Chains A and B, each alone.
Chain A
């Protein structure tokens, strides 16, 4: 898996904040992340680490009046070759990018489809919005898309409502919807989390196939490292609003340089291992402690309270993202020892 170099998405120093009743919280704190054309980048991390906020920031779909981008830039190269900073684009221009240059697939296939419109109607909508397609030709295109995402009997399905489809089919339909205008970037926010394991594998295969066929860049949000190994070129590990380690998937898996990544890898069951451990009466290694709340973040390294490598110096300040090598970085002052 060779990652092409030219980035279509280039996030620099992104900081996203939410104004809540308890005060302002920083959900994403200075993220640098790139996605190349045709490259799949996985964003992993525990619940609440800011993965969804990152992807919603790119789409500029944060809850209005509550969430906003406080700092940083999000340069995106649209199909016409122009590179613009999405962080400062006006709503009108942003709308032209959403659904056309960037497609998005959400976690819950049940609730992310509108219950009162037909599948075909919803899939053809981006074409009507962005391509000015007539209702009829847009519907034909929707049927073709449904076939491409592997839905049998597509013509009949197009006339059905979301509640008439199974969860896996619905997720295929939302993928078809995101791909309708042939985007160059697909953002998939935990697209398989809500599905059965067997359906998960099918949807992953489908995404992998579509990504290769279309040469899209994919930002794949997940908390499942097994999924990462299967589909991504590069991986960025998030913890409490920051990226703590990133690099090519094979490199990070073989040679993790952040204690958090190490913990995540250790808590990931290998095939058959979970049952073997159970028989031996052992538990799967879990990271002790809980994710700190964003409202009262510990000073210094946010992971240090849970880290077995932690030393006094970890509290001194937030560690820099240090280079392990040209393509691999870790936000740990002891990354050299972590690797041993």
Chain B
């Protein structure tokens, strides 16, 4: 899986116009074609593509993802790893917001179907799903950071200040909330539909017939069943959310993988692009695995393993 992904990226990068060699040379120093050819063979760029790929793969498997071209020869692995933390923090917070907000509003909408609350949540979800990420990110940045000045407009920590959790949270809230919008809206719509279906099931009526209080009929008997499809949805949106995260990170200058990837693409830093994509792909696979495990935990009809 990961190998297939790396092959694809490798191929795509090489198919894009431009020559990797450009990244190594200083345009201000003229080089003769002979010098260029020498540099090429030194870097291995004259070999056929499959050979180049296998060379990269052999190194990658032993934990060496190469060195960054642009960033003073830093090893790609440590560069990428240092960016995982901030991205996981940002996406994790966004995910938590999306789950809590989406599930709560979805359940309320289903239980109070066609009420004013249901209508407003449904309209909000529709707006959330249909507004493109760049629009909500820029509007959010403008309104909350620039006009209202509720939150800083970028970065993860105040530069020069001592580290404090509250400072981190202060920087985190706005980008995380904006990143969560699309996911929260999706979760809400799925939760509402799933809950409406479950509320019509016989076992919900059975629970009522036992004298279970309505709150517990919803929160215990219906919710657990209604969550099943939503868990699958959440798992599959995380892959999509990575796209949003890359964007939010560049808008808010959040020092995560997204920012790294964007600047690497801008400067044609091939080893970094390869490494970052590979790690992101690995994370997506892990998340999907976790989703399947969660599903098996809440649905006894599925055996783990």
Question: Measuring CB to CB, which residues of chain A are less than 8 angstroms from any residue of chain B?
Answer: 59, 61, 91, 95-100, 103-104, 106, 108, 111-118, 125-126, 129-130, 161, 163, 174, 177-178
Q: Is the CB of B210 within 8 A of A125?
A: yes
Q: Is B298's beta carbon under 8 Å from chain A?
A: yes
Q: Is B221's beta carbon under 8 Å from chain A?
A: yes
Q: Is the CB of B301 within 8 A of A126?
A: no
Partner of B211, one of A96, A114, A118, A163: A96
List the A side residues contacting B202 at CB < 8 Å.
106, 108, 111-112
Q: Is the CB of A98 within 8 A of B209?
A: yes
Q: Is the CB of A161 within 8 A of B203?
A: no
Pick the most buried of B209, B221, B299, B300: most chain A CB atoms within 10 A of its CB.
B209
Q: Is the CB of B225 within 8 A of A111?
A: no
Whose C-beta in chain A lies nearest to the C-beta of B301?
Answer: A163
List the A side residues contacting B211 at CB < 8 Å.
95-100, 126, 129-130
Pick the most buried of B203, B212, B213, B301: most chain A CB atoms within 10 A of its CB.
B203
Pick the most buried of B206, B213, B221: most chain A CB atoms within 10 A of its CB.
B206
Q: Is the CB of A116 within 8 A of B298?
A: yes
For residue A92, give the distance in angstroms from its CB to the closest CB of chain B. Answer: 9
Whose C-beta in chain A lies nearest to the C-beta of B211?
Answer: A99
For residue B108, give the distance in angstroms from its CB to the closest CB of chain A. Answer: 16
A25 to B221, CA, bound (A): 31
Q: Is the CB of A95 within 8 A of B213?
A: yes
Partner of A99, one of B201, B205, B210, B221: B210
List the B side residues contacting A104 at CB < 8 Å.
206, 209
Partner of A111, one of B201, B210, B214, B300: B201
For residue B85, give the distance in angstroms from its CB to the closest CB of chain A. Answer: 36
A97 to B207, CA, bound (A): 13
Judged by DSSP, the binding face of B is helix
Q: Is B224's beta carbon under 8 Å from chain A?
A: yes
List the B side residues contacting A99 at CB < 8 Å.
209-212
For residue B197, give the distance in angstroms from its CB to the closest CB of chain A. Answer: 13
Q: Is the CB of A116 within 8 A of B224?
A: yes
Q: Is the CB of B225 within 8 A of A113?
A: no
List the A side residues contacting B298 at CB < 8 Å.
116
List the B side residues contacting A96 at CB < 8 Å.
211
A178 to B211, CA, bound (A): 11
Partner of A115, one of B205, B207, B209, B300: B300
Whose C-beta in chain A lies nearest to the C-beta of B216?
Answer: A129
List the A side residues contacting B214 at CB < 8 Å.
91
Partner of A98, one of B208, B221, B300, B301: B208
Q: Is the CB of B210 within 8 A of A98?
A: yes
List the A side residues contacting B224 at CB < 8 Å.
116-117
For residue B205, give the distance in angstroms from its CB to the closest CB of chain A. Answer: 6
Whose C-beta in chain A lies nearest to the C-beta of B228?
Answer: A116
Q: Is the CB of A125 within 8 A of B205?
A: no
For residue A194, give the distance in angstroms from its CB to the closest CB of chain B. Answer: 11
| Chain B 264-305 near chain A by CB (<8 Å), digits 1 or 0 | 000000000000000000000000000000000011110000
Q: Is the CB of B206 within 8 A of A126?
A: no
If A111-B203, A112-B205, A114-B225 touch, whether A126 touches B210 (CB-CB below 8 Å) is yes
A99 to B207, CA, bound (A): 9
List the A side residues contacting B210 at CB < 8 Å.
98-99, 125-126, 129, 177
Could you tell me which residues of chain B, from 187 to 211, have a CB within 8 Å of some CB in chain A?
A: 201-203, 205-211
A104 to B211, CA, bound (A): 11
Could you tell me which residues of chain B, from 218 to 268, have a CB within 8 Å of some CB in chain A?
A: 221, 224-225
A204 to B300, CA, bound (A): 31
Q: Is the CB of A112 within 8 A of B203?
A: yes
List the B side residues contacting A114 at CB < 8 Å.
203, 206-207, 221, 225
Q: Is the CB of B206 within 8 A of A161?
A: no
A103 to B211, CA, bound (A): 10
A112 to B213, CA, bound (A): 17
List the A side residues contacting B206 at CB < 8 Å.
104, 106, 112-114, 174, 177
Q: Is the CB of B301 within 8 A of A61?
A: no
A112 to B203, CA, bound (A): 4
A95 to B221, CA, bound (A): 16
List the B side residues contacting A113 at CB < 8 Å.
203, 206
A98 to B207, CA, bound (A): 10
For residue A164, give the distance in angstroms from its CB to the closest CB of chain B. Answer: 9
A150 to B201, CA, bound (A): 27
For residue B25, give the distance in angstroms from its CB to the closest CB of chain A. Answer: 63
A114 to B213, CA, bound (A): 16
Partner of B205, one of A106, A116, A161, A163: A106
Whose C-beta in chain B lies nearest to the C-beta of A94?
Answer: B211
Whose C-beta in chain A lies nearest to the C-beta of B201?
Answer: A111
Whose C-beta in chain A lies nearest to the C-beta of B221?
Answer: A114
Pick the most buried of A61, A103, A108, A116: most chain B CB atoms within 10 A of its CB.
A116
Pick the most buried of B203, B210, B298: most chain A CB atoms within 10 A of its CB.
B210
Q: Is the CB of A161 within 8 A of B300?
A: yes
Whose C-beta in chain B lies nearest to the C-beta of A163?
Answer: B301
For residue A137, give the distance in angstroms from its CB to the closest CB of chain B. Answer: 17
Can you identify 17 A-B contacts, CB atoms within 8 angstroms?
A61-B208, A91-B214, A96-B211, A98-B211, A112-B203, A112-B206, A113-B203, A115-B299, A115-B300, A118-B300, A125-B207, A126-B211, A161-B301, A163-B300, A163-B301, A177-B206, A178-B209
Q: Is the CB of B212 within 8 A of A115?
A: no
List the A side residues contacting B221 at CB < 8 Å.
114, 117
Whose C-beta in chain A lies nearest to the C-beta of B225?
Answer: A116
A61 to B207, CA, bound (A): 11
